[in-house]
Amino acid sequence: MSDDLSTKTCIACHGGMPVLSESEVADRMGQLHEGWKLAKEGRWLVRRVTVKGFNAAHHLADVAAWLGEQEGHHPDIRFGWGYCEVEFTTHVVKGLTENDFICAAKFDRILALG
Ligand SMILES: C[C@H](O)[C@H](O)[C@H]1CNC2=NC(N)=NC(=O)C2=N1
pLDDT in tens, 39-91: 999 999 999 999 999 999 999 999 999 999 999 999 999 999 999 999 999 99
pLDDT of residue 14: 66
**Residue range 36-113 in CATH 3.40.640.10:** no
Prediction pTM value = 0.93
Rounded to the nearest angstrom, the distance between the alpha carbon of 75 and the centre of ligand 1 is 9
Phi–psi pair at 12, nearest 5 degrees: -55, 150
Q: Kindly provide the ipTM of the predicted complex, given to two decimals.
A: 0.91
Q: Whose CA is nearest to atom 4 of ligand 1?
A: 13
- For the chain, the structural domain boundaries read 36-113
Give the position, in ligand 1's atom list, of the atom nearest the Cα of 93: 15
Mutation test residue for ligand 1: of 45, 92, 107, the one with most atoms within 8 Å of CB? 92
What pLDDT band is residue 3 in, cutting at 50, 70 and 90? confident
Rounded to the nearest angstrom, the distance between the alpha carbon of 14 and the centre of ligand 1 is 8
What pLDDT band is residue 15 in, cutting at 50, 70 and 90? low
Rounded to the nearest angstrom, the distance between the alpha carbon of 53 and the centre of ligand 1 is 31
Q: How far apart are CA 41 and CA 52, in angstroms?
A: 31
Task: Name the burial class of residue 111, with classes exposed (0-12), middle (13-18) and buried (19+) by CB atoms within 10 angstroms of its CB.
Answer: middle
Rounded to the nearest angstrom, the distance between the alpha carbon of 33 and the centre of ligand 1 is 23
Closest to 75 in 3D by CA, of 85, 83, 51, 29: 85
